[in-house]
């Protein structure tokens, strides 16, 4: 009898266990999970969890058992986007829930970088909105220090060149200036502040920003997102005009 | 009585049996290091004429690498890798046919070997591959520079006829693993990651096995050796299989030798030195010290600090590459220490943000007696003629008005009272007085800030 029940439990578990797919997953508490496949690492993904539209953490999502994944937070390491601690900070189990897929996320000891709370996400019909880059004119709103009212600022992004670099100019606000964006992971960029020296030589300065581009989905417009991986994962959204 | 005798005999026999099981395997030198482009050579003890050549090579190497690192920071990104790689290759090739078996050269040579392996196993046009190569070279340079002094000392002592000295292979192995491992796991391509991890472990195990105190690392050596025999040297055809292999390698003790092994090695070196230090001319010892949650004048130290600078500020000669551990789930001020061992102009507020957390553990090398020429002063609710300081004030200005040398950006502020606050400039001028409005965000005043006082 016991063997029969165990067998039944295993069968039912395997029937409901799922593998992850690229796409958009919606969570409670205004959280969203974006997944895209990771080239050169079949079965793994690059993930982005966005909360309340103002906090975002990029992850490497590695499969470590059937329907079980580890989420390793990635951040700006000056010359690349990576981690120094490859212990996942979150684990995720994937189950079939009716017609949709549910991802249950829980904190994992050994790494407390990024989100440190249980979350649950449900699949949507949206394909992965993750874009390599999207040139154009962007807008973002920001309140000046000491002010409540926000002001609108514009930014223009050039197409990527052969070195996977694009030039970004932000015309006002706290981030005003010229930047070089370099794609160092698929769809993930490092932002370097660019200035010209007195001799006319371009000098770039490392930052803590990671930049991603998302196609409009679930009510969001096309976005360029600046994530400050050195300061509480704060995110600045730039909307494509 | 018979029982006791029997028991002790059994215990003795089992101990003898156990002791026999720790026989070290014969770990072979990795093929690439024994011949060809990346051969490490066999010259450990130089003649007087060779030392005369070695010293300028080492000094030139250090200068070249430091200059390349500084220049690269402001170069356009696409030019960084070739610039740094050229510098590292020049240093290695300038040792010519001598192939000095010095740890500084080992680190660079092996860094280039790992880059070569990366290029063989990955399409270098793939996104991120250039950055991985750059990261590996930068890491190997950091490890190399940390061995500059010990390489020179080694040769000087050898010249003085000291036969008791030994090359600290295990210490190098530990530093190399600590320094390079994060660079290898940041290669996310599964095929390349496996191959690089395999080579890294192979090289480190070779060093451990030839250390004078190899027996102390027996468990790690045997485990890594057996795993190396069991696993394929070349990656499998599919990513999932390679990731499984990577996880097996990641479970090895040799990955986490880290500080414990270094400390053990340092102790060994000290013991060896103590036994042979008849001459006062041989004071150089690589004594490492692990420091938990170091503080300077009661302030946390930002994890983004320069590791050597931090150890200098803490009263040591240098820091051990890769030994910093940080903590990031509290909100507090932390001082960032620059490479010169002084507070940099960046202070950080830390709250579960990677890159802005504070150090919970660091390993420093060789404690020295040296008074710090500066101190950190914390200002609590600073006021001046009943005026508070408005939060947009310049940190330098506020600190200068309070009688200190300069300020560090970053502060705590508070905003639930009505009152007035002075706005202070860099030159410590009060430019205007702001009226604080209760509960209005953005109209707050500084409650805690950090200043530097030059002694």
Give chain A positions within 8 Å (CB) of B75. 204
Most confident residue range from A171-175, B13-17, B427-431: A171-175
Partners of residue B246 in chain A, C-beta under 8 Å: none
Q: Across chain B, what does the average pLDDT equal? A: 77
Q: Which of B15, B186, B183 minimizes the C-alpha distance to B107?
A: B183
Chain A from 20 to 79: CB within 8 A of any B CB: 38-44, 60, 62-64, 73, 75-77, 79
Look at residue A158 in the predicted model and tell me its pLDDT.
97
Task: Note the pLDDT tens digit of each residue in A65-104.
Answer: 888 999 999 988 888 999 877 889 999 999 988 888 999 9
pLDDT at B278: 27
Which chain A residues are closer than 8 Å to B134 by Cβ? 79-80
* CA distance to A36, A234, B357, per residue, from B351 (Å): 28, 12, 7
Residues of A in contact with B304 (CB under 8 A): 230
Is residue B353's pLDDT more than 50?
no
Scanning every residue of chain B, which has its alpha carbon at the shortest distance from the alpha carbon of A60? B188
Evaluate whether B423 touches B442 at the Cβ level (below 8 Å).
no
pLDDT of residue A72: 93
The pLDDT of residue B161 is 66
Average pLDDT, integer, range B409-429 = 77
Q: Which long-range contacts (CB under 8 A, 24 or more apart) does B330-333 make?
A: B332/B300, B332/B358, B333/B299, B333/B300, B333/B378, B333/B410, B333/B411, B333/B412, B333/B448, B333/B450
Instruction: Compute the average pLDDT of residues B371-394.
Output: 85
| Per-residue pLDDT tens over the stretch B139-155 | 999 888 888 777 777 77
- Bridge partners of B326, per DSSP, are B359
Report the range of poorest mean pLDDT among A180-194, B83-97, B111-125, B257-271: B257-271
Give the distance from residue A185's alpha carbon to the nearest chain B alpha carbon, in angstroms.
5
Distance CA(B188)–CA(A126), nearest Å, equals 26
Six-digit token pair at A57? 């953490």
Best residue in B115, B138, B184, B188 to probe A by mutation, most A CBs within 10 Å?
A: B188
Query: Taking CB atoms and an 8 Å limit, are B352 and A82 in contact across chains?
Result: no
Report yes or no: B407 and B427 within 8 Å, Cβ to Cβ: no
List pLDDT tens digits, range B71-88.
887 777 788 889 999 998
Does residue A14 surpass a pLDDT of 80?
Answer: no
The pLDDT of B389-407, averaged and rounded, is 88
- What's the pLDDT at B273? 35
Specify the pLDDT at position A114: 85
| Crossing angle (nearest 10°) for helices B148-159 and B103-121 | 140
pLDDT of the residue at B279 = 22
Residue of A58, A80, A109, A132 to mutate, interface with B, max B Cβ within 10 Å: A80
**Least confidently predicted of A32-36, A122-126, B19-23, B172-176:** B19-23
| Whether residue B158 has pLDDT greater than 90 | no
A220 CA: distance to closest CA in chain B (Å): 26
Contact (CB, 8 A) for B194 and B246 = yes
Asked if the Cβ–Cβ distance from A185 to B188 is below 8 Å, we say: yes
How many angstroms separate the CA atoms of A139 and A132, rounded? 19
Q: How far is residue A52 CA from its own chain's centroid?
A: 14
Give the C-alpha separation, B202 to B173, whole Å. 11
CA-CA distances (angstroms) from residue A156 to A133, A168, A239, B275, B394? 12, 6, 11, 69, 31
- Supply the pLDDT for residue B307: 85
**What are the pLDDT digits (tens) for B267-322?**
444 333 333 322 222 223 346 677 888 999 888 888 878 888 898 899 887 787 76
């Amino acid at each position: 009898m016991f063997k029969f029940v165990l067998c039944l439990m295993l069968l039912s578990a395997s029937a409901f266990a799922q593998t992850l797919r690229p796409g958009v997953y919606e969570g409670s508490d205004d959280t969203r999970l974006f997944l895209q496949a990771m080239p050169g690492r079949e079965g793994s993904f690059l993930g982005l969890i966005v909360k309340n539209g103002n906090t975002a953490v990029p992850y490497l999502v590695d499969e470590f058992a059937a329907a079980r994944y580890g989420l390793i937070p990635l951040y700006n390491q000056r010359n690349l986007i990576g981690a120094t601690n490859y212990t996942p900070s979150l684990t995720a189990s994937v189950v079939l829930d009716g017609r949709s897929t549910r991802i249950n996320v829980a904190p994992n000891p050994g790494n407390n970088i990024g989100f440190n709370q249980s979350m649950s996400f449900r699949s949507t019909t949206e394909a992965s909105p993750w874009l390599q880059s999207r040139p154009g004119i962007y807008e973002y709103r920001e309140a000046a220090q000491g002010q409540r009212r926000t002001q609108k600022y514009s930014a223009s992004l050039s197409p990527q060149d052969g070195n996977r670099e694009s030039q970004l100019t932000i015309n006002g606000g706290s981030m005003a200036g010229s930047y070089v964006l370099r794609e160092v992971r698929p769809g993930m960029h490092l932002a370097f502040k660019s200035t010209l020296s007195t001799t006319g030589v371009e000098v770039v300065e490392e930052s803590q920003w990671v930049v991603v581009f998302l196609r409009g989905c679930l009510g969001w417009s096309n976005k360029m997102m600046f994530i400050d991986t050195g300061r509480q994962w704060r995110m600045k959204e730039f909307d494509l005009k | 009585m018979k029982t006791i005798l029997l028991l002790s005999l059994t215990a003795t026999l089992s101990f003898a049996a156990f002791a026999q099981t720790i026989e070290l395997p014969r770990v072979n030198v990795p093929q690439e290091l024994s011949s060809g482009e990346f051969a490490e050579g066999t010259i450990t003890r130089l003649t007087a004429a060779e030392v005369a050549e070695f010293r300028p090579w080492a000094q030139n190497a250090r200068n070249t690498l430091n200059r390349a690192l500084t220049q690269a920071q402001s170069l356009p990104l696409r030019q960084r890798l070739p610039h740094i790689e050229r510098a590292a290759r020049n240093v290695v090739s300038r040792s010519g046919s001598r192939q000095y078996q010095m740890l500084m050269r080992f680190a660079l040579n092996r860094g280039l070997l790992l880059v070569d392996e990366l290029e063989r196993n990955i399409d270098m046009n793939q996104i991120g591959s250039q950055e991985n190569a750059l990261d590996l070279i930068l890491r190997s340079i950091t490890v190399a520079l940390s061995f500059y002094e010990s390489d020179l000392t080694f040769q000087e002592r050898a010249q003085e006829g000291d036969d008791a000295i030994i090359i600290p292979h295990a210490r190098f192995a530990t530093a190399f693993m600590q320094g390079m491992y994060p660079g290898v796991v940041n290669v996310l391509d599964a095929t390349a990651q496996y191959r690089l991890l395999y080579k890294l472990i192979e090289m480190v195990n070779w060093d451990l096995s030839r250390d004078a105190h190899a027996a102390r690392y027996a468990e790690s050596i045997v485990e890594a050796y057996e795993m190396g025999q069991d696993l394929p040297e070349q990656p499998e055809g599919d990513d999932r299989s390679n990731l499984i292999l990577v996880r097996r390698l990641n479970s090895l003790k040799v990955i986490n030798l880290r500080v414990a092994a270094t400390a053990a090695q340092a102790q060994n070196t000290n013991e060896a030195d103590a036994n042979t230090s008849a001459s006062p001319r041989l004071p150089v010892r690589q004594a490492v010290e692990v420091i938990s949650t170091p503080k300077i004048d009661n302030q946390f130290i930002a994890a983004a600090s320069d590791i050597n600078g931090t150890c200098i500020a803490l009263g040591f000669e240098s820091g051990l590459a890769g030994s910093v551990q940080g903590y990031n789930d509290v909100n507090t001020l932390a001082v960032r220490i620059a490479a010169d061992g002084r507070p940099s102009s960046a202070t950080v507020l830390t709250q579960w943000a990677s890159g802005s957390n504070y150090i919970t553990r660091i390993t420093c090398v060789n404690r020295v007696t040296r008074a710090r020429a500066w101190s950190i002063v914390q200002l609590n609710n600073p006021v001046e003629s009943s005026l508070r300081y408005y939060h947009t004030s310049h940190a330098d200005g506020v600190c200068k008005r309070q009688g200190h040398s300069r300020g560090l950006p970053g502060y705590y502020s508070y905003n639930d009272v009505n009152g007035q606050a002075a706005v202070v400039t860099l030159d410590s001028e009060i430019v205007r007085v702001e009226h604080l409005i209760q509960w209005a965000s953005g109209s707050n005043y500084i409650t805690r800030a950090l200043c530097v006082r030059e002694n």
